[in-house]
Amino acid sequence: MVPTDYYVMLSAILFTIGVIGVLTRRNALVVFMSVELMLNSANLALVAFSRQWGHVDGQILTFFVITVAAAEVAVGLALLVGIFRTRRTTNVDEVNTMRG
């Protein structure tokens, strides 16, 4: 059986890749995907802890995280489409004013 700390370490590595993606990429859609990667790595840690304690609570929390991620993607992509309509770009450096 694979020890839990290996899974948590894998989750930390995936989370860090997501952080680097958010910090370095300029396409708002790729930044968004990196956020999804970070949420996903947190889910992996939760499921690993769920197995560690033989309890289903971590998996239930993962369900709620997936639901919140789905809602966040719907609203976030609608926002991106709205931004693209007015500014014709998804580059986060060029979207630097609040006025449309």
Partner 1 sequence: MEFVLFLITAFITIGAAAAMVLSHNAVHSALWLVLNFFGVAVLYLLLNAPFLAMVQITVYAGAIMVLFLFVIMLLGSEKGEEVNGLPWQTPVALVLGLVLVSIAGYAILGADSPAIAAAPATDTQIGAAEAVANSLFSTYLLPFEITSVLLLVALIGAVVLTIKSREREGART
Binding positions for partner 1, 40-79, rule CB under 8 A = 40, 43-44, 47-57, 59-60, 62-64, 66-75, 77-79
Q: Does 80 interact with partner 1 (rule: CB under 8 A)?
A: yes
In DSSP terms, which residues pair with 27 in a beta bridge? 91
Number of separate helices (H) and strands (E) present in the chain: 3, 0
Count of residues of this chain found to bind partner 1 when the rule CB under 8 A is applied: 77
Report, in Å, the least distance between residue 70 CB and partner 1.
6
Helix axes 57-87, 28-53, angle to 10 degrees: 180
Smallest gap from residue 46 Cβ to partner 1 (A): 10
Check residue 37 for interaction with partner 1 (CB under 8 A): yes
Q: Return the HEC string of 69-89.
A: HHHHHHHHHHHHHHHHHHHCC
In whole angstroms, the minimum distance from the beta carbon of 66 to partner 1 comes to: 5
